[in-house]
Amino acid sequence: MATAHAQLVTTISWTENTSMPAHEVIYYKPGNKLNWADFIGKPHLEGNVAALTMSGFGYKSEITTMGNTGQLNIFLYCYFNKPLSWVKPDKKTNYILNHEQNHFNLCFIVANQFYQRLKTTAITLQNYKSLLPKLYTEYTAVLNEMQNKYDAQTRNGQEKDPQMQWDNLIIDQLSAIKP
């Protein structure tokens, strides 16, 4: 007895077309750097944190089906949220900006890992609704762990040698990403 298997064609691409207001967000583009004018949030003056980068990645998907075939389009994005990112007025140094840029870079590195995983995963009509959120949750956890490790090892950028080690690691990882 022959069984009919549903076929699903999946395309995965990067997008800047999201529901986030364009004036509030910067989408990651390799080679583009943040500058202090991008940090428009109100700084938290108490405590010893000099600046905060609020960045993340996400996806949206669209599916069309006809009979037992389907087309699934997955759109990924990596973003920096300007109103939620801030810097104390007296802390606008290139060194601190580099530390903050690396938070955004780490976000893109993990978003790219998510992209690569999607490309190598067997996505079907039967599993895409549960699989996509499961993988996204897995990679947001990876990102959170990496961001926390980065800040812990560099003491939020205050430890120069570990900061330099992370700078080099991030440069290497970014250079390994092929568009």
CA distance 51 to 64: 43
Is 135 in contact with 118 (CB distance < 8 Å)?
A: yes
Q: Residue 50's pLDDT is what?
A: 96
| pLDDT in the model for residue 178 | 80
Of 83, 63, 107, 79, the residue nearest 17 (C-alpha): 79
Closest Cα partner for 128 from 118, 141, 137? 118
pLDDT along the chain (179 residues), means of 10: 62 96 96 97 93 98 90 97 98 97 98 97 92 98 98 95 97 91
Cβ pair 125, 65 in contact under 8 A? yes
Per-residue pLDDT, 36: 98
**CA–CA gap between residue 74 and residue 62 (Å, rounded):** 7
Give Cβ neighbours of residue 56 (< 8 Å, ≥ 6 apart).
78, 79, 81, 107, 140, 143
Yes or no: say if 105 and 150 are a contact pair by the CB < 8 Å rule: no
Q: What pLDDT is stored for residue 67 in this prediction?
A: 82
Domain boundaries, the chain: 7-175
Q: In the numeric block, which tokens belong to residue 55?
A: 């960045």
Q: What pLDDT, on the 0 to 100 scale, is given for residue 7?
A: 86
What's the confidence (pLDDT) of residue 179?
A: 64
How many Å apart are CA 179 and CA 177, to the nearest integer? Answer: 6
pLDDT of residue 6: 62
pLDDT (0 to 100) of residue 128: 94
Q: Is the dihedral of CA 158, 160, 164, 169 positive or negative?
A: negative
Structure tokens at 28: 């990651």
